[in-house]
Chain A
Amino acid sequence: MAEKKVKTAAAAESGKTLEQSMQELSEIVAKMEKGGMPLEETFRLYKEGMELLKQCRGAIDMVEKELEILENSGDDDEYNEP
């Protein structure tokens, strides 16, 4: 499972980016619902929002995954048996 040696940070990163995107999107929607902006601003936010929406949709890999099992081999870890 060589390809599984992904940096934990990277995995956490992709999840967080979705979180950030959703947060930004929620803020944009709130601003748009509030209104009172010039039309150009509304269009700009709409464009930005739609882009984020696309990103968020795409962030979920809509494929059911199989359970991965990590080998209980005990090699290349830092724990030393007494």
Chain B
Amino acid sequence: MPYTVSQITAYLKNLMEGQAPLRNLEVVGEISEFRRSGQLYFTIIDGGAKLPCVMFADSAARGLRCSLVVGLRVQVTGRITVYPQGGRYQLYATRVEEVGRGPLNEQLQQLARALKEEGLFDPEHKKPLPVFPKRVALVTADNSAVLEDMRRVFRERNPYISLVLSPCRVQGKGAAKEIIRAIHRAERAGVDVIIVGRGGGSRDDLLEFSDEELVRTVYACEIPIVSAVGHEIDYMLIDYVADVQVQTPTAAAERVAFPIDEFLGTLVNYHSSMVTAVCREIDGSKERLSRLQQGLRYGSPSAQLTRHRETLRQTGQFLQRTLADSVRTASRNLSDAERELRDAVKGTLLSYRNRLGVLETGLAAMSPYRLLKQGYAFVTVDGKPVKGVRELTEGAVMQGYLADGQFTAAVLSVQPNEE
């Protein structure tokens, strides 16, 4: 997730301004430029860096203890602040005073200015140090503590770097010429970096390292040169012209020698990163392949067919069940209807039988056979029923019906009822 410019700047501001040492400190450097516009803006430099400073008018009124002149060495008291709009850090100065009489005496200051004018100290001209030098030249005195210190550091950090000693005097009058020759020898020896190193010494010795010819030699040299001749508080012109300036020869060796175990460790990390990445990609591809295969299997005609068959089977089952249910229901309805019909018919039959019985009984009650059984007879003459005796004459032949049969009889006499 990216930060915004303001966020990261605020973070840096906090980080820097929160450091106790940076809140109240003194910095020594040479004034390289200044201007006044409301506040006082100036820059102090040494051979390796520059620090923009700002002094507000009220602080200047109280704390500015010397006139600002380009080339003047000063000590600035104040605190480090971050100026967000300018995207830089700066020294917010509360006090500026000239510092001692450094080796840059009047003559040297003039020379420094002149050489600076020529562009010999231009940052753009400075060459970057190679990250992985193979051969390093040490320009210093043979059998010196400086040499041993540097050799020790190289041995500890990276014993595989070839060291080449180009010995020379580094103190006393005329040392500058020897240093120049030593640098030339180092150039011819085909090295990747040259370290010019020197330990402590008297002020006069240091003057040799401000020799104009030496400065021009360093400027013209095509191989990067590290100047490690500084005393803690003194600077020499070689410090300004060198590609890199450090305080001590040990620091120079540390700066130049890349730690071999770190290097090899980095290679190991790269190796495992690449292997991990490839394995990860292969796993990813395997997974994708497997998913695609699954998809293919799912969508394959045989899989589809199986699914369709299953659907069909289920539908068939469903239909069968439904059909069976319907049939069962229908047949149940049919039996119910059948039963109802039978019951209805039975009922009707029964009621008819009853009626028939009743009618039968009625009929039987009205049957002449009852009468006949009681002793009455039904009489006919010539087939015609005799309704009275008046229809009878003596001697007529009559047919008589009784309950169990008929008889034939002749009339003997007739006696009608009296009126």
Contacts and interface: CB of A to CB of B under 8 A. Distances in A.
B220 to A, nearest CB: 11
B151 A67 contact: yes
B160 A8 contact: no
Interface residues of B, number: 51
B181 A8 contact: no
Given A70-B185, A72-B168, A81-B177, 7 more contacts: A5-B188, A11-B191, A33-B273, A49-B270, A65-B160, A68-B164, A72-B185
Interface in B130-163: 130-135, 137, 142, 151, 155, 159-163
A28 B267 contact: no
Interface of A: 1, 4-12, 14-16, 18-19, 22, 25-26, 28-29, 32-33, 35, 37, 39, 42-43, 45-46, 49-50, 53, 56-57, 59-65, 67-72, 74, 77-79, 81
A64 B181 contact: no
A1 B188 CA distance: 11
A1 to B, nearest CB: 8
B260 interface: yes
B192 A15 contact: yes
16 contacts: A8-B190, A12-B192, A18-B131, A18-B132, A22-B131, A32-B273, A37-B281, A50-B271, A57-B264, A60-B260, A60-B263, A65-B161, A67-B163, A67-B164, A70-B189, A72-B181
A9 B188 CA distance: 10
B184 interface: yes
Contact of A59 (B132, B178, B186, B277): B132
Contacts of A59: 132
Interface string B357-398: 000000000000000000000000000000000000000000
B243 to A, nearest CB: 13
B185 A77 contact: yes
A74 to B, nearest CB: 6
B222 interface: yes
Contacts of A10: 190
B277 A35 contact: yes
A68 B184 CA distance: 16
A28 B184 CA distance: 40
B49 interface: no
A35 B280 CA distance: 9
A81 B177 CA distance: 9
Contacts, number: 137
B187 interface: yes
Contacts of B247: none
A33 B164 contact: no
Contact of B274 (A32, A60, A63): A32
B281 to A, nearest CB: 4
A11 B132 contact: no
Given A15-B192, A56-B267, A61-B160, A50 B274 contact: yes
A72 B167 contact: yes
B166 A70 contact: yes
Nearest to B222: A8
A65 B168 contact: no
B278 A46 contact: yes
Contacts of A70: 137, 164-167, 182, 185-186, 189
Interface in B253-270: 260, 263-264, 266-267, 270
Contacts of A11: 134-135, 190-192
Nearest to A56: B267
